A and B are shown apart, each in its own frame.
Chain A
Amino acid sequence: MLAARGLVFPPINELLRWQDIFPTFNKIALIACLAAVLGIGLFLIASRADPMVAPTGPRNLAEQTIEFVEEGIVMQTLGKDGLKWTPFLLSLFIFIFLCNIPGILPIFQMPATARIAIPLTLSLLVWVIYIGVGLKHQGAAYFGHLLWPPGVPTALKPLVGAIEFISTIIVTPFSLTVRLMANMLAGHILLVTFALLTAALATAETSQFLLVPASILPFGMLVFLTAFEILVAFLQAYIFAILAAVYISNSTAGHGDEH
């Protein structure tokens, strides 16, 4: 990967693809499975604890997470009626966060959400759910509300209808997918870049005596970016969950407050 002199950036497949551990199962799938098992396991263990005593350990963590999802995601978007959505949004949040965080964990060093499969599946799930919720709450009138927000002049209906159709049916799942995938991919490539720079400077065979100690500069950046990636992993999970909640609340209420 590193030439004797200078820096060679590896091809993208080297950064993002792995040999199958066994057919059709590689590191990405392993991380996704671990994330699911870890998330389910945490809440199963937490549910065993006695609810009557002060929460400790896993239960404490689980309660904090649920409270965060209720206060920070559900109450902000869906309101009190939306509390029944907490389990779904909580699962989304936990799963995405646990898929993101291996991006900075040693050994894994790869966010599972940097490959498009997981974000795409999750956003298609959200897409099906918010259309389903709209149909359930408003019946066939949902498509009317989806195309024409109340109060649109008749002359503008074709234009507004086309724009609204494209934005709700096509752009929404696409942007939900790309936002999560590109954020994690960008973070992963940034970390790779600074790790390679550090390694290339530290092992440079050169007569410039300042070049080798200068590897502390990209190393400092690498440490900072690792901390930054923790923030991004959390923030992207939060944004995905809160946007899912917003789309669901748009479907239940229709456009505006006329319902």
Chain B
Amino acid sequence: MEAFSALVAAADEAGIDPADAKNTAAAAGAGYAYGLAAIGPGIGIGYLVGKSVEAMARQPEAAGMVRTTMFFGIAFTEALALIGFVVFILLKFA
């Protein structure tokens, strides 16, 4: 939020409406926040589900156990992307 007040001060000097400058920066920042936060979990979940499918195909009798563990993994990996999404909401709307 300190970055925003510095930005507002700069915008004020340049004669731009400070609220406009803040909203623009917040919208751009929100987009980057979610986009960057989605990269890691995207790779992670892809790897995780791919390996799980491989395991299930090799050993169909262990499919139930693999599936449960896969959901744990997804839940933990996905949390990072979701925190990114929350940051997006906070930046954009708060």
Question: Which residues of A line the B interface, CB within 8 A?
Answer: 11-12, 72, 76-77, 175, 178-179, 182-183, 185-186, 235, 238-239, 242-243, 246
Size class of B's contact patch? 10 to 19
Assuming A12-B89, A239-B71, is B82 touching A183 (CB within 8 A)? Answer: yes
Shortest 4 CB-CB contacts between residues of A and residues of B: A182-B82, A12-B93, A76-B68, A239-B75
Cβ contacts A to B, 5 pairs, < 8 Å: A178-B86, A182-B86, A185-B85, A235-B71, A242-B72
Residues of A within 8 A of B65 (CB): 76
A185 and B79 alpha carbons, distance in the complex (Å): 14
Shortest beta-carbon distance, A229 to chain B, in Å?
15
**Could you tell me the dominant secondary structure of chain A's interface residues?**
helix
Shortest beta-carbon distance, A9 to chain B, in Å?
10
Q: Which one of B68, B75, B85, B89 has the greatest number of beta carbons of chain A within 10 Å?
A: B75
Assuming A12-B89, A12-B93, A186-B85, is B71 touching A175 (CB within 8 A)? Answer: no
Assuming A11-B93, A185-B89, is B82 touching A179 (CB within 8 A)? Answer: yes
> Beta-carbon contacts of B63-82 to A below 8 Å, as 1s and 0s?
01100100110111011001
B19 contacts partner chain A, Cβ-Cβ < 8 Å: no
A14 and B78 alpha carbons, distance in the complex (Å): 27
Residues of A within 8 A of B36 (CB): none
B83 contacts partner chain A, Cβ-Cβ < 8 Å: yes
Residues of B within 8 A of A178 (CB): 79, 82-83, 86
A175's closest neighbor in chain B, by CB? B79
B71 touches A238 (CB 8 A): yes
> Which residues of B (32-74) have their CB < 8 Å from a CB of A?
64-65, 68, 71-72, 74
Residues of B within 8 A of A175 (CB): 76, 79
B75 touches A186 (CB 8 A): no
A141 and B68 alpha carbons, distance in the complex (Å): 30
A239 and B64 alpha carbons, distance in the complex (Å): 15
A179 touches B78 (CB 8 A): yes
B71 touches A179 (CB 8 A): no
Residues of B within 8 A of A182 (CB): 82-83, 85-86
